Amino acid sequence: MLLNPAIMALLLVSIVVCSMLMLASGFAIQVLRHWDIESGSERQLGLERRTYLISTLLIWAFSFELMSLLLFIYNAESMSGQFVGAMCATGVLNVNGWGWPTLFLKIAVFFSGAVWLALNYLDNQGYDYPVVKYKYRLLLAILPLVVAEFILQLLYFTNMDPDVITSCCGTLFSSQAEGVAAEVSGLPPRNMMLVFILIGVIVIVSGLRVALRVRGNWFFALLGGAAFVVALMSIVSFVSLYIYEHPHHHCPFCILKSGHDYVGYILYVPLFIAAALAMSVGALSSWRDKPSLTLTVNRVIPRLSWIAVIFFALFYLAAGWSIWASNLTMAEVW
């Protein structure tokens, strides 16, 4: 399995990202110990020069993580034909006990990296680098996640056994099964649809309020995270049913297949971007009271909010279109 080009690429990306973050973490420790913006010492000047190089490395590292998340899901989907019982990425992730933890860690690193990049941009706009220590503390917190992701991903790929009979999505995402996936699959479609619509309206209105008046930043950030979770639950609970035109097919991965026009990517990509931007708005709003950042924060937050609202709207429009264009009619929903 390790000779699979996609797997080799994923492992290579993880090694490179881990190396970059370890290098950056060594620099972060120096910053936390010796940074003094009031000092004109040679050491301070060296730290200021090197921070731009480290920031560039980390921009590339977190960009690679985004591509790694997309490639990981695509690879799991493409490998479904190599395992008995696997019909989509669900079966491939179930090949051993490391698949799902790896996916969840990749998602956590993606959102953490997005927030770090937003803080890094903000820090570079201040003449006194007011966020520098905070962003490097955050980097040291992200490093264990990246290392754990690499270890779990390596364990996942090295323990793949093509002779193992894995479980398909129909087994995992079924109201008759056990576990979180089964619980979400068994949620009443009507109730979930109402919650889905309600939080969609609230998060978009909240985002517009931030974009127009720069108010309610943290509320929008929290709503963005909540909307992300509700959206994933809704895809499993009822959106996928309309896409498949089948009242019992709840899989969130089969919608990535060509047979369904890759509609899953149209749903997931805007959702992930919107949620990441909303969380970034919350992270940036904490620095509005810094004199060197007030103007930048008041300029950047509305832009991020507008973009987040647009991507949230694209997600909800795609989900709404999938339901409206479907030939499936579920009387119990209404």
pLDDT tens, position by position, 66-106: 889 988 988 888 887 777 777 778 888 888 889 899 999 99
The pair of three-digit structure tokens given for residue 162, joined into one six-digit string: 């093509």
**Whole-number pLDDT of residue 331:** 53
Burial 127-141 (b: 16+ CB within 10 A, else e): eebbbbeebbebbee
Query: What angle in degrees, to the nearest 10, is found between the helix axes of 217-234 and 263-285?
Result: 160
Q: pTM of the entire structure?
A: 0.90
pLDDT tens for the chain, 334 residues long, are: 566 788 888 999 999 999 999 999 999 999 988 888 777 788 888 888 888 888 889 999 988 888 899 889 888 888 877 777 777 788 888 888 898 999 999 999 999 999 999 999 998 887 888 889 999 999 999 999 999 999 999 999 998 887 777 777 666 776 666 667 667 777 788 889 999 999 999 999 999 999 988 778 889 999 999 999 999 999 988 898 899 888 777 888 888 887 778 899 999 999 999 999 999 999 998 888 888 888 888 899 999 999 999 999 999 999 999 999 888 776 554 4
**Whole-number pLDDT of residue 15:** 93
- The CA distance from 296 to 126, in Å, is 8
| Residue closest to 104 by CA, chosen among 164, 182, 156 | 156
The pair of three-digit structure tokens given for residue 305, joined into one six-digit string: 């909010």
**Whole-number pLDDT of residue 17:** 92
| Neighbour-count burial of 37, counting CB atoms closer than 10 A to its CB (0-12 exposed, 13-18 middle, 19+ buried) | middle
**Whole-number pLDDT of residue 252:** 85
- The CA distance from 201 to 192, in Å, is 14
